[in-house]
């Protein structure tokens, strides 16, 4: 990724998307399968793992820290763990590419073990703040040497004598919560995180499945999650469900493209991840959830989506944590809806792979859509899209995919300046979308 040249793409008007498809495995579950397997006792086996660059970089990092990680020809990943205290200083840099989840969770995993590791990433990741994670990890006993502004490259000195803390999240962030809980794995006593606003709970669910002593309760000041450290985890067999953040692109494509009727199988339906489905249904989207079932502690199901006339709504701030990665493609859906869609609680989008809020607004404007925004809100005036614009992606995979979806229903083709980074989260995005009737192609 670091040296890859830009790959401009364009997306043309399409009609009647059809098909039954599966999206890549959930990225959150894929990262955690590798990390928890690396510090468990025994061999963890994971099938359906997302094999994008972000997750592959996490696999390489776990291997560099001492775990044995191998993918066999049948697509199953085998992770031989080293126990919660068994991670070792890597010989070289740990390169996390474009993945904020990968580096922030790994920092937590390493923080309570006396090792030294230097973490690097691509240009986009190197602009993202790490202070929100390093501050609580310093309280546990880790030390950090960072680039200016608390950014990557970053050298971690893990704690020799980690101490348990109680940490109240200043912002709603599953990554920060997870980093602190993972540091608690090798910390004596109870490490507690208090989250005033509930965030994705994959870490808690999965740690429990691996045998961690972890419990949560809701109190007046929010949700308290406590983990008792220095208890060994037991290796697991994991079937990774489809990523709802990846399913989002096919969902919106079908809703805005006339005559469409598609099904997406085996999608994770964890309630902390289904904000977009709720929102699109409120906007008038014809989305049916079928065959709900449990798999690996997570609820999964199949989605059937048919083209619909959408209407603008107000999306409440409290829903933001359950759909924070989906706002770019929601903004695209909103541009085809009747009326204005007002989205609140979006301050977190300012510090994603890019300033996602600014990038979304600029992309909409380039294609003839009227918007308004503030530090933490975005309003999109719907009614259709003229298209014809060039979207600057700022090395952000979700911006690229969202605007390629826009071109499927705009009057003129929509172009994005680079699609190379799509491989970080959705390696077969173009082939899967074109397979159901989309028209996405390289810019000539």
CB 414 within 8 A of CB 440: no
CB 402 within 8 A of CB 9: no
User: What six digits make up the tokens of 103?
Assistant: 């580096």
C-alpha distances in Å from residue 168, one per residue of 24, 115, 325: 33, 26, 23
According to DSSP, the β-strands at 237-239 and 43-47 are parallel
* Active-site choice (26, 243, 325, 418): 325
Helix spans in 235-355 (H):
244-256, 275-282, 327-335
Reported as type and span, the H/E element at residue 433 is helix 429-435
CB 367 within 8 A of CB 387: yes
Active site residue 325: yes
How far apart CA 38 and CA 233 sit, in angstroms, is: 10
**DSSP string over 361-421:** HHHHHHTT--EEEETTEEEEE-S------EE--TT-HHHHHHHHHHTTTSSS-EEES--GG
Spatial neighbors of 148 by CB under 8 A, at least 6 apart, are none
User: What six digits make up the tokens of 128?
Assistant: 């993202």
CB 211 within 8 A of CB 394: no
Residues classed as catalytic = 325
């Amino acid at each position: 990724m670091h040296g890859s040249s830009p790959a401009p793409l364009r997306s043309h008007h399409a009609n009647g998307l059809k098909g039954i498809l599966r999206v890549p495995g959930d990225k959150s579950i894929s990262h955690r399968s590798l990390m928890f397997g690396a510090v468990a006792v025994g061999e963890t086996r994971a099938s359906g793992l997302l094999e994008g660059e972000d997750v592959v970089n996490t696999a390489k990092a776990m291997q560099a820290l001492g775990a044995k990680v191998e993918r066999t020809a049948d697509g199953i990943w085998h992770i031989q763990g080293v126990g919660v205290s068994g991670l070792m200083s890597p010989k070289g840099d740990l390169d996390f590419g474009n993945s904020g989840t990968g580096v922030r969770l790994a920092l937590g995993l390493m923080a309570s073990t006396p090792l030294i590791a230097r973490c690097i990433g691509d240009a986009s990741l190197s602009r993202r703040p790490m202070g929100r994670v390093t501050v609580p990890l310093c309280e546990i006993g880790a030390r950090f040497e960072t680039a200016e502004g608390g950014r990557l490259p970053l050298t971690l000195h893990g704690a020799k004598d980690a101490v348990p803390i109680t940490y109240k999240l200043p912002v709603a962030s599953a990554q920060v919560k997870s980093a602190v809980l993972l540091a608690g794995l090798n910390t004596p006593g109870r490490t507690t995180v208090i989250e005033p606003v509930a965030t994705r709970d994959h870490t808690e669910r999965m740690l429990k499945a691996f045998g961690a002593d972890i419990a949560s309760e809701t109190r007046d000041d929010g949700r308290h999650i406590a983990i008792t450290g220095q208890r060994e985890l037991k290796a697991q067999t994991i079937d990774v469900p489809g990523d709802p953040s990846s399913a989002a692109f096919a969902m919106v494509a079908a809703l805005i493209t006339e005559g469409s009727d598609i099904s997406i199988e085996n999608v994770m339906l964890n309630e902390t991840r289904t904000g977009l489905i709720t929102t699109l249904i409120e906007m008038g989207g014809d989305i049916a959830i079928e065959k709900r079932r449990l798999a690996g502690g997570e609820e999964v199901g199949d989605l059937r989506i048919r083209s619909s006339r959408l209407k603008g709504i107000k999306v409440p701030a409290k829903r933001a944590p359950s759909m924070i990665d989906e706002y770019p493609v929601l903004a695209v859906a909103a541009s085809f809806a009747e009326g204005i869609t007002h989205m609140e609680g979006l301050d977190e989008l300012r510090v994603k792979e890019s300033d996602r809020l600014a990038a979304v607004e600029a992309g909409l404007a380039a294609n003839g859509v009227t918007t308004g925004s503030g530090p933490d809100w975005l309003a999109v005036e719907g009614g259709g899209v003229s298209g014809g614009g060039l979207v600057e992606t700022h090395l952000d995979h979700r911006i690229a995919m969202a605007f390629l979806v826009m071109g499927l229903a705009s009057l003129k083709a929509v172009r994005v300046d680079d699609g190379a980074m799509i491989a970080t989260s959705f390696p077969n995005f173009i082939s899967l979308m074109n397979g159901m009737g989309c028209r996405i192609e390289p810019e000539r």
